[in-house]
Chains A and B, each alone.
Chain A
Amino acid sequence: MLRFIFGRLAVLIPTFLGVSLIAFSFIRLLPGDPVMLMSGERVMAPERHAELMHQLGLDRPMYVQYFDYLGGLVTGDFGSSIVTKRPVLDDFMNLFPATLELSLCAIIVAVLLGIPAGVIAAVKRGTWLDQSLMGVALVGYSMPIFWWGLLLIIFFSGYLGWTPVSGRISMMYFFPQVTGFMLIDSLISGQAGAFKSAVSYLILPTVVLATIPLAVIARQTRSAMLEVLGEDYVRTARSKGLTPFRVIGVHALRNALIPVITTIGLQVGVLLAGAILTETIFSWPGIGKWMVDSVFKRDYQVVQGGLMLIAAMIMIINLIVDVLYGFINPRIRH
């Protein structure tokens, strides 16, 4: 097992270097240089320009800059925002809990609804129930979620007035950030109504972000279940008189879950891409909105650092999923 983990880690290192090279070259591919970008419209004397380039270390050869950048990464220095001057890592750490809270809620909803839906569809194969569940899954799977979010806002926030439109909690509440998870922080704060407010802000973004993973998990569970239900051991379990619930829930589902867990792991990238759109629509202060805003502000230090951090996170999560998968399914550990 350890060998398996170390093998995977060894593959991560060249990938990480490649990712850093891409993030590094992006901002150098742009027309103009960072100093010109920072100065904006103002005219700058050539001497001042050269001085600033020197200050930022941009007059050194490219490879020196790259190794310097790599050295920074290793010590946790991801550069500072050109606009706010704050370190990129600090901003990331501040905003990441918001994205994590939203993504975790979305994936929990997707798993809790998607797996039962897939199991029911497989057991009732060919019936109207199967067809309607899979029809809904197809719609969810094909959904432009940015539009879906707007529709939900029109209906639930605009027409019914049930949920707020943007942010994480009502302005009425203020309490220190302890975990960064609004649901937990609002409970800890002990303020009456704070938790309810946090939940009401969380509902619509969660629904929007959960839509695609939910549909994918339901479809995958159904096809995995169908495959397993035809196996001999399921027939054996049936013929020895076990209740249908036990056959499906214990004998079949446990084996069908192996590919489903891979699918859930693969949703991490989908969730982050979805978070970019969801956070933009609901003004959710997480890393998705932060990245979009930085792209528009041309804050390339943040874009570079953010890309690095997000890619590193995805690689680590994928590694964890791989290792978990190795635990569940010993065949792939070889």
Chain B
Amino acid sequence: MAVAEIKTTKPQTGFAEFWFYFSRNKGAVMGLAIFLIILFVAVFAAFVAPHSPSIQNRDVLLLPPGWTQGGQWTYLLGTDAVGRDILSRLIYGARFSLFIGLVVVTLSVISGVLVGLVAGYFRGRTDTIIMRVMDIILAFPSLLLALVLVAVLGPGLVNAMIAISLVNLPHFVRLTRAAVMSERTKDYVIASRVAGAGTLRLMFLTILPNCLAPLIVQATLAFSAAILDAAALGFLGMGAQPPTPEWGTMLAEAREFIQRAWWVVTFPGLAILVTVIAINLMGDGLRDALDPKLKRS
């Protein structure tokens, strides 16, 4: 007699479960794929880019894209007003945009989570003061505050990143605080407090891991918002300074040619748009995968 085969499935690991829900969202997978391509191009810019991003070729000023009349295939997306290859500048520019997003998200997540944890855990006067300060930051339109901050600190990429991190901060503080407040009175937290866990352990090891889902989603949104804001500051002349091939800065340089060279304006913006769409698609997928309320079954 054949032994009845008992099928047992291993319990899914956290990541496998996450991937199961994430991969159901086709848009999110597409966003992830586009994001990985941009990441690859940015990391290996030196090998991928057909030309140097800074060498000015005086023979090919404002050359149109390769497929149009008068274009050359070696300059696929054309050249700018001083004869630099636009495609190569965009490829190197991807480095700046991803780097800006990464730095801004890291800075604002770390500081926002710390401040939010403190506010939500201790409550009382500490909480009131922290939340009032956040209200003050939120009272200004974020781009205006970032613009003035950069003007005070001095125009440049680093200061732009600091300014954008600061205006992003309140979102993380509020989110962490709200999550901590709903978690801290739950049984498992009280149980570990009774078991003798100290404040730091309770804050970071007991409560924080259970508040991560909304933070991850917000971090994705902040990543794309940071890229847009940094490009906007670059466009206004307060972000990365020329000749840095940052996409917003490239657009600012291209503005005077909008009537006669559409390609110098079109492609940098398209690069920003595609990157931001990819990240937002991923953000939507993350939200669906991490929010238990939306999970089907």
Which A residues contact B (CB, under 8 angstroms)?
A: 11, 14-15, 18-19, 22, 26, 29-30, 138-139, 141-144, 146-148, 150-151, 153-154, 158, 269-270, 272-273, 276-277, 280, 291-292, 295-296, 298, 303, 307, 310-311, 314-315
Contacts and interface: CB of A to CB of B under 8 A. Distances in A.
B237 interface: yes
Contacts of A311: 139-140
Interface in B135-157: 135-136, 138-145, 147-148, 151-152
Contacts of B255: 150
A26 B258 contact: no
Given A14-B132, A269-B142, A292-B147, A151 B277 contact: no
B272 A144 contact: yes
A141 B139 CA distance: 22
B242 to A, nearest CB: 16
A93 B145 CA distance: 21
A139 B135 contact: no
Contact of A150 (B136, B138, B152, B269): B269
B265 interface: yes
A26 B136 contact: no
B245 to A, nearest CB: 16
Contact of B265 (A11, A151, A291, A298): A151
B236 A280 contact: yes
Nearest to A158: B259
Contacts of B280: 138, 141-142
Interface of B: 27, 132-133, 135-136, 138-145, 147-148, 151-152, 224, 228, 231-232, 235-238, 248, 251, 255, 258-259, 262, 265-266, 268-269, 272-273, 276-277, 280-281, 284
A150 B265 contact: yes
Nearest to B142: A273
B269 A147 contact: yes
A273 to B, nearest CB: 4
Contact of B232 (A139, A146, A150): A146
B116 to A, nearest CB: 19
Contacts of B265: 147, 150-151, 154
Given A15-B132, A138-B281, A303 B148 contact: yes
A307 B136 CA distance: 12
A150 B258 contact: yes
A291 B258 CA distance: 25
Contacts of B266: 151, 154
B269 A151 contact: yes
A26 B232 contact: no
Contacts of A272: 141, 144
A142 B237 contact: no
B230 to A, nearest CB: 10
A320 B256 CA distance: 42
B139 A15 contact: yes
18 contacts: A18-B135, A19-B139, A142-B224, A144-B232, A144-B269, A144-B272, A147-B235, A151-B265, A273-B141, A276-B236, A277-B235, A291-B147, A298-B151, A307-B140, A307-B145, A307-B148, A311-B139, A314-B141
A158 B258 contact: yes
A154 B272 CA distance: 18
A144 B276 contact: yes
Nearest to B136: A18
A125 B41 CA distance: 36
A296 B150 CA distance: 11
A54 B262 CA distance: 54
Across the A-B interface, the 9 shortest Cβ-Cβ residue pairs: A147-B269, A18-B136, A273-B143, A142-B276, A273-B141, A272-B141, A311-B139, A142-B277, A144-B272
